[in-house]
Amino acid sequence: MRYSLDVRYSECDMQQVVHNSVYLRWCDDLADNFFRDLAVGLESGSWDIMVKAASITWSAPARLRDTVDIDIEISRFGNTSFDVTYLGTRGGEPLFEATMVYVCVVPGTLETAPVPQGLRDAVAGDG
């Protein structure tokens, strides 16, 4: 799925580019939209996720007032975790690629749980 956002003044640093920490915040914020758009019941409280790892590689900086398109997909499923890949572009030019590893947990605990079949089905187009 693709999401677009406009770079705000408060997201830029002294070098007049988006500060490095902002990119992962964008990814985390857009993950909420992504899971709601997949309609996999994350907000129902029957399952939850936590970030286990995050990595990012930059190709070019985003700047004030740029429109950044971010394509999001689940790129790997494990038993209790899955990877979400984010590809950020500006007018087709690659800006960054990030991967976040999410672990499924029992709500209110840190106990791991299996990846819900509904999420797997939604990504496969069966949900």
CATH of residue 58's domain is 3.10.129.10
126 in a structural domain: no
pLDDT, tens digit, 9 for 90 and up, residues 77-124 = 999 999 999 999 999 999 999 999 999 999 988 899 999 998 999 888
Owning domain of residue 72 = 2-116
| pTM as predicted | 0.91
Residue 121 forms part of a structural domain: no
Answer whether residue 124 is part of any domain.
no
| 44 part of a folded domain | yes
User: Other C-beta atoms within 10 Å of 44: how many?
Assistant: 8
The mean pLDDT of 26-41, rounded to a whole number, is 89
Tokens for 36, please give them: 């709601």
Average pLDDT over residues 42-70: 93
pLDDT given for residue 126 in this prediction? 57
